[in-house]
Structures are given as C-alpha cells and as structure tokens.
Chains A and B, each alone.
Chain A
Amino acid sequence: MTGRARARARGRPPGQETAIPSVGAASYAVSSVAAGKVAPNYCRFNRLCQVSHPAVGNLSSRMFLHQYQKNLVAVDDRGALRVFNKARMGEGQKIGLQISAGFQELSLADRGGRRRDFHDLGVNTRQAIEHVQESKTGSSGIMIKLTTNYFRLTSRPQWALYQYHVGYSPEMEARRLRSALLFQHEQLIGKTHAFDGSILFLPKKLGNKVTEVFSRTRNGEDVKITITLTNELPPTSPTCLQFYNIIFRRLLKMLNLQQIGRNYYNPSDPISIPNHRLMVWPGFTSSILQYEESIMLCTDVSHKVLRSETVLDFMYSLYYQVEEQRFRDACAKELIGLIVLTKYNNRTYRVDDIDWDANPQCTFRKADGSEISYVDYYKRQYNQEITDLNQPVLISQSRRKRGTMMPGPVVLIPELCFLTGLTEKMRNDFNMMKDLAVHTRLPPEQRQREIGRLIDYIRKDDNVQKELRDWGLSFDSNLLSFTGRVVQGEKILQSGNFDYNPQFADWSKETRGAPLICAKPLDNWLLIYTRRNYDIANTLLQNLFKVTPSMGIRMNKATMIEVDDRTEAYLRVLQQSITPDTNIAVCVLSSSRKDKYDAIKKYLCTDCPIPSQCVIARSLSKPQTAMAIATKIALQMNCKMGGELWSVEIPLKQVMVVGIDCYHDTLSGKQSIAGFVASLNQTMTRWFSRCAVQSRGQELVDGLKACLQTALRDWFKWNKYLPSRIIVYRDGVGDGQLNTLVNYEVPQFLDCLKSVGKDYNPRLTVIVVKKRVNTRFFAQSGGALKNPPPGTVVDVEVTRPEWYDFFIVSQAVRNGCVAPTHYNVIYDTSKLKPDHVQRLTYKLCHMYYNWSGVIRVPAPCQYAHKLAFLVGQSVHREPNLLLSDRLYYL
C-alpha cells in the first residue's frame, strides 16, 4: 500500500474517537506538533533519532529522550494530572556523560498530555564543569543598568506538593470512574487537586499517611479507596514550578485570551492587514522558572499571524496564478509544512500531504464501526456545511496522542481549515513583511508598555486575583532591574585598524574602498546574461572595474556570454565555457525564479565545482545604488573564491572554532541538513565548510563526526599541527532537545577526537546557541528605555543556576527590540574563564563576511546556516569537497 492509500485507509477526521491506548504505551510518544516554527524543527529531530544508534543499544530514541525520567507527569490545562511510571532505566545511564542530574525529578506538561520539557528543566550541565562551580560571570566591560521582561514572584505557595498513591478495592478500571469515586470525598481532599487515576497531587497534607475511604458506584457497589502518601515535593522542585506555570496559564484563559500553540492571544482587538488577508493577534508568552536568584515570570509580547482565508480559498487563488499542470505541485509547495487551524475546534495541525484522489464525499469508519462521509460528519457534528465537494483533502500525520485519538493520519477538509503563519513566499515578500513589521516590531518603550498591560489585566480582574490568592501566588509589578556589562568594541583589522561607532555595529562606511586582507584575482571569469540584460551586465562590469582596484582585487575583463532566458541555456553555456582556470561564474538572472537559480547552483556545487555568483537584474537597475551593489558583489565574489576581508584580534592560540546549524526540509520532509563550518587559521578568516545530508534513517551526528574528522585533517594540512582547543557553537537546537545533545552528541564528538590519535587530547567546549528566546533587555537612558548597545553581556539574574550560560546582545537593530542571543556552555574542559568565552563569542560575531557589521550569532554559525540553507533549498546533495576551503555558499 502506498503511503497515501494507507493514509486514506486509516484516515479519519479529527475529533473522532478511537480506542484509548494504554497509558503506559502512550507515555513514550514524545509530542511534536505545536504551532509555530519550532514544531517542524523538533519533528525532524525526532525523526533523526528514530533509528537506534549502537551506543544506545535497543532503546528507541524517543524513549531515549525520556529514559531518565522515572516518572512522567502530565497535567492538562484543566489541571488534571497524568502520571506515567517508567520502569525502563539502566541501559541509557551507561552512555553519555554523567553530567545530567535531576532527571529523577518529575516533569509536568500541559494540554493533551504533552510531556515535552520545553524549558530543558533538569538538565544540569554546570555541575560537571569544574571551573565554573564558584562563579560563571565575566568581568570586563563597563556597567550598564538594564531592565528585562521578568517579574519576580513576590510570594509563592509555601506548601510543598504531596504525592499520593490511590488504590481501589475492588480494582476499578475506568479512569473516569476512579476520579468520580475519589471526588465523592472532596471535603477530605479539597478543591485544589490533580489526579490522573492513580496518582494524586495535593497542596496539603492529609491527616494520616494512609487514609481509607469508601465510595459507592452507580451500581451500588461499595469501593474501598486507599490514599497513601508516597512523596513530598519541595516548593523548589521542577514539578512545583510547572504547577505555577499551569496556574498562570489558567489565569490567561480567565482573561479571555485564546490559546494558540503555546501562547495566549487576545482575539477581541485584532490588527487586520487586508492587503494580504492577514490578521495579527497580540498576545503573550509566559513561563515561570527558577532563575539565578529567584523564581520569576518571564513574559513577552507575542504576535500571532492568522489568515482570514481558508486553505480552500488559498488553493483557488493559487489556481488562478499558476498553470493548470503546475497547480498540484504549487499547492504542495505552498501548503505542506504549514500549520492550519480548524474552524470547528481550536486545534492546529501540520499539513503533511494533500490527497488529490479523495474528496469530502469519501467516507471513513467511525469508532462504532459505521461508515460516514466527511460532509455528513461535519454537518452532524459541528453543523459545518462543506460547499465544495470536489476539493482534495489534507493529511496530517499526528505524531502524538490527542485526547482519545491514536497517533496516525488525520484527514482535514481545506474549506474548514484556516491558514496560520506565513508561507515562504510571504516571508520573501518585502512589502508584506514591511506591513507586518509596523505592527509586530515594537520599540522598547512600547514593548514594555504592552508587557505592563498583562500585569495590569491580571491586577484588575477580580476572578484572576481570587485565583492567585487561592494558590498563594503574587508577582512583582515592576520589571526586574539589574546591572549588565558592555564589553569593549572590537577594532576591525583590514589594512590598518578601523574604529567605528559601536552603537551601530556597522563598519561598511569606514572600510569602504580599503584593501582587503587577502584579495583573489579575477583573471578568468564568466559573466552570463540574457539579451535584455546586456546593458545591466555591462554596467556591472564597468562598476566592478571601478570598485575593485582600491580593494586590491586584480581584475581582467570577463568573458561575456549571452544566453536565452532558459535554465538549459544557462547550464549549456556553463558546461561549454568553464575551464579549469575559471575563477568564478557570474550569472545575471532576469527574475527571482527559483528553479533557474537552483539548477545553476546545483551544477556548480556538485558536478562542476567552481564558485558562482547569481545577481538578479532588477537589483542592478537603479543607478543610485549601482556602485554600492557592485562593491557588495565584489566583496562577496572575493569571499567565494577564498579571499579574506577583515579580521579582529583573537588572542587565543591553536583553537579551532566550529559552527553547526541545521536546515530541515519542510517540503519533502525527507532530508535534514547540518552545515558544519570550522576555522582553519589563527585569525579565523579561513573556514572549512562541509555539510551532512541526512536522509531518513540516518543519524545526523554520524555526519557531524565525519565533518569533524575532515576538518581536523584540513586544519593539519594548513597548520602542520592539530588544534589544542576546539570550541563548538551548536545552533539549531530546539526547545527540549538539550538532553539529547548532552547525552548523545557531545559523547560522539569526544569519541571522534579520541579516534584521531592516541596522544591527541584537545580541550573541548560545546556551546549551544539560541536565537529564539523570549528574554528582552532594555537599557535605561535618561527617563526612556532604549535597546542595550551591542556588546551587552548578561550573566546574572536571568540566567539559570544549573547552567553555565549567558546572553550577548551583539547586533544593533534599527527598529523594534533587539533580541539577545542565549549561549549555554554545556560541556567545557577548556578551563577558559567565562569572561574569555564571552569575549571570544562576541568577537566571532564580527567575522561574518556577508555583512560588514556585527551579527546575532558567531560567524561560523551563520556560515553553517547559509551552507545548510543553500544545500537544503537548492542543491539537495552534498556539495563537492573541492569547494570546502572557500565560502562558496555566501
């Protein structure tokens, strides 16, 4: 049976009840679908781990993620609790580093029994890093007063959480019945409780360790219930913290905010952007966690982009835009991977496939065995009329248990699904993003005001206040203030030292026309264009002649080749004209059509490995920006050919810096690509780049091992010795994946280093880089709040006590709030002082050659991202290794 046929056979609309699986079995299913971008990221990761690795023995990786957790507790949004006891332990503990403790703790999750630990609670990596036991703070820089979007809990429940086991005699099977019987004794238990059918959590201690009560069933049967105290969880335990989170989310619900994915939004005052059929709902993210000094609520403004069109509307408008024969492909391309929201309930699904052979008149088998068509089902169940009976259906592979539903394909009707989020096409639409940014990019002052509004709402709502009082919770009404540091700005070294205004984190003006550190000549190169763009190509050539001399780039006239505006024509010309001496091929493209670009890149990255530069004609057409663009292109071409632009002072010797980032192919859903970039020289101006293409059934980390090995070999070729330190910046780690990284990926790196040689024992540092954080910092200047300046480092208050982590604001933004980047050192035998790690990290943010300014992440991460993106989007297989010593993917 094909996948599609299987989906049809098993497919059913959501909400349709099926048999309830046993609780124990379901507890292994790690949830994956959540709205927003994080979800696909995570799904893929799940898949990466699916095949068991020799080191893990027979454990499936899904289990692996949780194998340390003895008890998994799930609390859904109503506070009902589910507890899963884990018997399987042992095997997993042998592998990995013994650096994670706290896994014995309980973990709670919300809604639908998702047990994903979004906050990576219980992953204690700091305790294994000796030199930061005392302090993990840096020292350099000048002090700066900061505020942040955190609120202290001023009072919190003094109660511990008491865990009871509840037994029934005679044994009762149904969970519902067990609850009903127990809660006949609400007077004893109290109104605040959480119960999953066998484990009961109470905020108070019952009089006796063992309590026996009697209930009577509907059938008049007397049942003895034995409630036995089994555990006492202190108020600081992660379980209690997660309880606070659940309480807080309840409050948001009471404020009539709508839950979408993980966050809560206010639907009553939407911002509508009719040009693009978009609707933006303002809302909030919230999380309560134990931070460095105290337990705090971190809340940030969040915007949910919703679309007031259904999937069917979207399909229709697409139908008019593309040719008939391309329509299905176009739909697949635009829709697969998107999150849709169903009209009739508040659920989100990821579109995994479109079944063109099915339609709403198809039938499915209900739980009771009867056949019903989708049209009838939705009519009967939700009074939803399906008007278009010829539409295809969407397939969503539900990877987790939803209520009573088993994981498996879910059939959705396009007419009944709204689109959410933005498609790739929309993200690339400059005007749309501009229109959106007006509403979503809030400057610091405004952002602070919006955050304050949430606290206001909470204070003014009587019900919410009462709920808070009942639980004994209260929050500080002011944002947390503390002191951060701004480290010294870096000098840019490029044929002299350049100072620039660190406020703007940009030196394009200062270094314009300055000779490059290492310029590669353009002796023999191709310039390919269509007839219409002859003038544009010619102007580009003239402009390049004007800008290159001052940079020190020697340039001959290009071989100018005119082609038809067809992909094959470009490819034929490339085949015919490229010689072993060709430095680079420059193609002027008449449109941003992706297929042409993809074909050129694929050919020149794999079959015929030479650097290439594609330019869209329109970007060259404006006379006023022509020179600036020619300058940029010259710089980019130089990098692609292996040239170097600038450097910063790097005092650390014999260190290899590695950047890793992942690209997940949402379209075909088959490949994940890890970009791997490692420095080759002391000044970190030359990089080794390779990527690991991971198809289904392969471990990503195997590819990374191979990358690391070749990188070390190349380093040796360049330097005649091996690096004594290796610092890995690992980007592309989703929420809740830290555990896997610590226990799986890091040991693999160590293994790999061991295999290099007996005496080779370099120091390894692994730093997890996270761009998507809810933390925002505001600098107080005068009476106003501003973005903190680039170079702001925060390693106190809002960091986590169990981690060796810090924040750096490295970039400057023109509008909106700057987002700090979070760095978490999960493994470190370097003995480097925290201050040095912070400074090095900040320095590396200056080294991305495609932007003459400071960026958000260390350059190797951004290079790795670029590489993975190019391969994932256009090349689809591993590029030729002959290119690996150049930044050909810029």
Chain B
Amino acid sequence: MDKNFQEQFTGIIKFTPPLYKQRYQFIKDLVGKYKPKKVADLGCADCTLLWMLKFCNCIEVLAGLDICASVMKEKMHRLSPLPGDYLQPAERSLTVTLHHGSVAHKDPCMLGFDLVTCIELIEHLEQSELKKFPEVVFGFMAPSIVVISTPNSEFNPLLPGVTLFRHPDHKFEWNRAQFQSWALEAARRYDYSVEFTGVGHPLTGMEKVGFCTQIGVFVRKYPQTTESAQSEKPTEAVYKMVFKAVYPSLKDEKYLQNAVVSEVIFTAQIIKQSLLDRLMSEHEEYNDDPTERKSKFQPSMNCFSEDLGKPLVEKSMEPFVNGNVVYIPLTTILSFPKVNRLCGTFEKLRKLIAGKVTLSSDGSAVMFDTEHENEEN
C-alpha cells in the first residue's frame, strides 16, 4: 500500500502520488500488460495521458478526442516528435492524432482500436450524451478493451470542502452501486465482461467507502470479425482533426535508407582509418622512402588486376588499398552489428545504399579516395 500512501493531516487527504497520476499509472500498467497497438483516449484534455503513452513501445497509433479544442491545443505540441526521434528513428512506427468532437457522435477514425480509455470523462456528460455513450464506445468503436473511471461519491465525505461534486462541471457523481449497474448493463448489451477496481484507498477504518476513483475495465468477449462489424458502420467523418504527428520510423523506407547509408559510411570510414593507420605504422617502421609504400601496396593491386580479381574480392572480407583508393567490401561492413541489425541481408544492404554510396565497379565494395584526406589539415 506504499504507493497509495495517504495521510490525514489537519483534515486534508493527500494522495501520494497524486490521484491523477495514479489513474494514469493504472492505464500505463494496463498497456504494459496487454500491449495494445492502437490506443484512443476519450476526453484527453491537455493530452497528459497521451504524452505518457507515447513512450510505450508497443503503441503504434495514438488518438485523442476532446470536446474542447483549445484545451487540447494548449499543450498538443508535446506530442510532436522530438529532435532525438529524428536523429535515431525508432523501430516502431507511431502516429498521434487529436480530434475535436463529442463521444456522443460516431466517427470512423475511432474504429479498430485495441484500447479505449475514458478517464474521468462520463461524469462530465449531459444526460443525453451519456445515453449515447455506450452505443458509441461499445457498439461502434468496439475496441478489445475499454477503461472507464469516474469519482466514487461514497468517498466524498472524506474529502474536505466537497459539498455536492468534486468539480463544478460534474453533472453527476455515482456511488459504487450506481456505476456498477450502469457498467454491467452496458457490458451485457455489447458483449463485454467487466471488472471493477479503483485507485485511491481510504484511510484504515474507513475501507467501507471504497476507492476514491472507481474504475471499470471492460474486455470484449468475442474477437470481432472486423469485416462484418464495419460493414454497417457509417463512414461520414464528424470529428475535426486538430493535430497529427507521424513519428520517423525505420519502417519508413526514407528513414531506413538514411540510417543505413550513414551507418555504412561511418563504419567504412572507421575501417579505412584503421587500415591506413596500420599501413602507415608499418611503413614508418621501414623507413621514410615513399617508394617503399608503393611496393607495399603492390600485392593487393596485383591480385585485384589479375583475372581472378573479382571472385577474390567477393570471397575476401579484407579491405585493401589500391593506389589512392581504399576498397572496403560490403560483406565486411555487413558484419558490423549495427549495419546488420538495420538491413539483415546483403541484398537489402545493396539495395538501400544504391546510388548513395560510391561502390566499386562490381558493386561489392565501398570505395574511398585516400588522397583528399591528406590534402589539408
């Protein structure tokens, strides 16, 4: 109970961590458990939950919906990719969208989600909206999991100063029985199972009032056959998209290519440098006569110019110098873990760097000029 530690200090109940953080952490834990790919947050407000969820690696689509566009816009830019996301694109793809609209309306952009969260949302709904809510969320969106949280009015007497509702905009606050009967009815009608839990324990001795925030976790009983489910759904969009961010990802050819090209050139540079350093030190051991250097390089040049040249290079993993040009076989480069992880196969590597990196005539090795390196310094 460490986490929900609370204290009664001159009559003020304080949750540590704060209750809203506990609610978000509850969702994060749920995401960690079920690994949903597509998550929507209804009533996302200032997008704090979405921001926390964007760090979850399993999620590929994040969507937020709110009735108030300005509150979403206020901090929506923190959902944009960071410079770091561009510098090292992630393996997974991620798209974040924000929509302006009501949970009483159906919009096809909310279809196909694995998890839909409604944190402290329903108590803000007018009677008419609340009536439509189950049909929209369970019937239309029909995600695998729905999480709904709402205040537990039985807890209110323990909160100082709360007379009617915890927030002036609340239209109602339910006790556990009210919430559970509403939830069970919705679950029954739309074929979901529901479990009740909550965050924010009361003090010892007051356990009977239950959690401060009550939570219902709904799980769809039967996997939906997407075909049939969506056939009868309206396609008219009623939400207005206010924000969209597509994160750079290695799934995108453009970013993958960039990453591979940089890694190949960088790796090749390292190999080249160590090769040149080695040759340099060998050559310094002999003496300062520059002709010595030429003759040292002769053998590799010879074997290249012979008829057997090409296959030899293919077989060989060894980089070599020919005149002013350093050749670094792609196979050598591919043996570096980072490059390997990015492209996997030789063919893919060749395809990705085609036209971006100077290759030998047979396309088996990266070529570098040694000359311009020594030009100036």
CB within 8 Å: A-B pair count: 94
Residues of A177-203 contacting chain B, CB below 8 A = 184, 191
Please name the residue on chain B nearest to A381 by beta carbon: B55
- Pick the interface stretch among B141-149, B156-164, B214-222, B325-333: B156-164
Contact B82 A275 (CB under 8 A): no
Contact B84 A342 (CB under 8 A): yes
Contact B261 A274 (CB under 8 A): yes
Contact A216 B168 (CB under 8 A): yes
Q: State A381–B262 Cα separation when bound (angstroms).
A: 30
Contact B265 A274 (CB under 8 A): yes
- Whether a CB of chain B sits under 8 angstroms from the CB of A344 is yes
Contact A219 B160 (CB under 8 A): yes
- Pick the interface stretch among B72-80, B186-194, B202-210, B316-324: B72-80
Residues of A close to B56: CB separation below 8 A:
383
Residues of A380-425 contacting chain B, CB below 8 A = 381-384, 418
- Pick the interface stretch among B101-109, B130-138, B294-302, B369-377: B369-377
Residues of A249-277 contacting chain B, CB below 8 A = 253, 256, 258, 260, 265, 267, 270, 272, 274-275, 277
Residues of B close to A184: CB separation below 8 A:
168
Give the Cβ gap from B236 to chain A, nearest Cβ, in Å: 22
Q: State A310–B55 Cα separation when bound (angstroms).
A: 19
Please name the residue on chain A nearest to B260 by beta carbon: A274
Give the Cβ gap from A443 to chain B, nearest Cβ, in Å: 23
Give the Cβ gap from B190 to chain A, nearest Cβ, in Å: 32
Contact A275 B266 (CB under 8 A): yes
Please name the residue on chain A nearest to B18 by beta carbon: A368
Contact (A431, B266) CB under 8 Å given A220-B162, A341-B84 = no
By size class, the interface of chain B is 35 or more
Q: State A368–B7 Cα separation when bound (angstroms).
A: 13
Contact B87 A279 (CB under 8 A): yes
Contact (A277, B262) CB under 8 Å given A216-B168, A430-B377 = yes
- Whether a CB of chain A sits under 8 angstroms from the CB of B86 is yes
Contact A272 B87 (CB under 8 A): no
Contact A343 B266 (CB under 8 A): no
Give the Cβ gap from B373 to chain A, nearest Cβ, in Å: 7
Contact A430 B376 (CB under 8 A): yes
Contact (A253, B77) CB under 8 Å given A220-B162, A308-B262, A345-B82 = yes
Contact B88 A308 (CB under 8 A): yes
Q: State A218–B270 Cα separation when bound (angstroms).
A: 63
- Whether a CB of chain B sits under 8 angstroms from the CB of A527 is no
Contact B266 A274 (CB under 8 A): yes
- Whether a CB of chain A sits under 8 angstroms from the CB of B57 is yes
Contact B82 A343 (CB under 8 A): yes
- Name the one of A218, A307, A344, A382 contacting B167, with C-beta atoms under 8 angstroms: A218
Contact A191 B86 (CB under 8 A): no
Contact A308 B87 (CB under 8 A): yes
Contact B87 A220 (CB under 8 A): no
Q: State A343–B86 Cα separation when bound (angstroms).
A: 10
Residues of A close to B17: CB separation below 8 A:
368
Q: What 0/1 readout, one digit per residue, does chain A (326-347) give for beta carbons within 8 Å of chain B? A: 0000000000000001111110
Residues of B close to A281: CB separation below 8 A:
83
Q: What 0/1 readout, one digit per residue, does chain A (215-230) give for beta carbons within 8 Å of chain B? A: 0111111000000000
Q: What 0/1 readout, one digit per residue, does chain A (73-85) give for beta carbons within 8 Å of chain B? A: 0000010000000
- Whether a CB of chain B sits under 8 angstroms from the CB of A567 is no
- Whether a CB of chain A sits under 8 angstroms from the CB of B81 is yes
Q: State A317–B377 Cα separation when bound (angstroms).
A: 21
Residues of B216-231 contacting chain A, CB below 8 A = none
Residues of A close to B160: CB separation below 8 A:
219
Residues of A close to B75: CB separation below 8 A:
78
Give the Cβ gap from A428 to chain B, nearest Cβ, in Å: 8
Contact (A274, B82) CB under 8 Å given A218-B166, A532-B288 = no
Residues of A152-196 contacting chain B, CB below 8 A = 184, 191
Q: State A343–B266 Cα separation when bound (angstroms).
A: 21
Residues of B88-113 contacting chain A, CB below 8 A = 88
Residues of A578-613 contacting chain B, CB below 8 A = 592
Contact B55 A344 (CB under 8 A): yes
Q: State A39–B258 Cα separation when bound (angstroms).
A: 31
Q: What 0/1 readout, one digit per residue, does chain B (46-59) give for beta carbons within 8 Å of chain A? A: 00000000011100
Contact (A344, B70) CB under 8 Å given A216-B168, A220-B164 = no
Residues of A287-319 contacting chain B, CB below 8 A = 306-308, 310, 317
Residues of A close to B164: CB separation below 8 A:
220
Give the Cβ gap from A699 to chain B, nearest Cβ, in Å: 38
Between B70, B80, B82, B161, the greatest number of chain A beta carbons within 10 A of the residue's beta carbon is seen for: B82
Q: State A220–B173 Cα separation when bound (angstroms).
A: 15
Contact A267 B16 (CB under 8 A): no
Contact (A191, B70) CB under 8 Å given A218-B162, A258-B80, A368-B17 = yes
Please name the residue on chain A nearest to B244 by beta carbon: A256
- Whether a CB of chain B sits under 8 angstroms from the CB of A618 is yes
Contact (A418, B265) CB under 8 Å given A368-B16, A383-B56 = no
- Whether a CB of chain A sits under 8 angstroms from the CB of B340 is no
Residues of A close to B57: CB separation below 8 A:
383
Contact (A267, B83) CB under 8 Å given A216-B168, A277-B266 = yes
Contact A267 B269 (CB under 8 A): no
Give the Cβ gap from A309 to chain B, nearest Cβ, in Å: 9
Contact A272 B161 (CB under 8 A): no
Give the Cβ gap from B91 to chain A, nearest Cβ, in Å: 12
Residues of A close to B266: CB separation below 8 A:
274-275, 277
Which 9 residue pairs spanning A and B have beta carbons closest together? A219-B161, A274-B265, A274-B262, A383-B55, A343-B84, A220-B163, A267-B86, A430-B376, A308-B87
Additional pairs, 20, CB under 8 Å, beyond known A418-B87, A430-B377, A431-B372: A78-B75, A191-B70, A218-B166, A218-B167, A218-B168, A219-B163, A258-B83, A274-B264, A275-B265, A306-B87, A308-B88, A308-B262, A344-B82, A345-B82, A383-B56, A384-B55, A429-B377, A431-B375, A532-B288, A618-B377
23 inter-chain pairs at a CB distance below 8 angstroms, sorted by A residue, are: A78-B74, A78-B75, A218-B161, A218-B167, A218-B168, A219-B162, A260-B83, A265-B83, A267-B81, A272-B258, A274-B261, A274-B262, A275-B269, A277-B262, A308-B87, A308-B262, A310-B88, A341-B84, A368-B16, A381-B55, A383-B56, A429-B377, A532-B288
**Chain B contacts to A: CB under 8 angstroms:** 16-17, 55-57, 70, 74-75, 77, 80-84, 86-88, 159-164, 166-168, 258, 261-266, 269-270, 288, 372-373, 375-377
